[in-house]
Amino acid sequence: MASRQVLFLAVVVATAIAFFPATTSAMDYMVGDSHGWTLEYPSNWADDKSFKIGDNLVFMFPKDKHTVTEVDGPAFRACDRQGNTLRTWNSGNDTVALDRAGRRWFFCNVENHCERGMKLLVNVADPNAPAPSSPSPPPPPSSSAGINYRA
């Protein structure tokens, strides 16, 4: 009886592992680390990071000096403060949940702060998406390729 319970447990564990492969724990990222979300924000801060669904971005900044403004790609690229704004956070301690896969664009909507480097693009991965397949090799030539039957 005990061994049946052990077997049952083993099946449960194996099933859990099969259904949740390579699930890593969610991360809270302090944007800009010790610089925070300020004019000292290092523009390459995100370069060595891989964001995934479930992670959070925590923006810390002096309230009323900056904003966290989520915009679309064109507004982001142009630092266009009149562009398409999706959402703004301005408490100075703002957690943005990365709750969907894909690109998200943030900048500071104060004066020329975006031009001065307060802009952040994150590319959020879906850890449960199937791994991208490697490019398939070209199909092998069919057996008749190159043969001129009328020769």
Ligand X SMILES: *[C@@H]1O[C@H](CO)[C@@H](O)[C@H](O)[C@H]1NC(C)=O
How far from each other are the two terminal CA atoms of the chain, in whole angstroms? 77
Build a one-symbol-per-residue string for 43-82: x at contacts with ligand X by CB under 6 A, - elsewhere: ----------------------------------------
Nearer to ligand X, 61 or 105 (CB): 61
Nearer to ligand X, 68 or 79 (CB): 68
Q: Which stretch binds Cu ion (CB under 5 A): 59-67, 86-94, 123-131, 135-143?
A: 59-67
How many of the other CB atoms lie within 10 Å of CB of 116? 14
Nearest Cα to Cα of residue 119 among 48, 60, 70: 70
- Residue 93 contact among ligand X, Cu ion, none, beta carbon within 5 to 8 Å by kind: ligand X
Half-sphere exposure of 61 (CA within 13 A, CB side): 25
Nearer to ligand X, 30 or 39 (CB): 30
Closest contact distance (angstroms) between CB of 26 and ligand X is 15
Q: Which two tokens stand for residue 112?
A: 């020329």
Closest contact distance (angstroms) between CB of 94 and ligand X is 8
How many of the other CB atoms lie within 10 Å of CB of 141? 8
Given the structure tokens 């008749």, which residue do they identify? Answer: 144
Closest contact distance (angstroms) between CB of 71 and ligand X is 23
Q: Are 98 and 55 in contact (CB under 8 A)?
A: yes
Site for ligand X contains 93 (CB under 6 A): yes
3-class DSSP state for residue 140?
coil
- Residue 110 contact among Cu ion, ligand X, none, beta carbon within 5 to 8 Å by kind: Cu ion
**Count of residues near ligand X by CB under 6 A:** 2
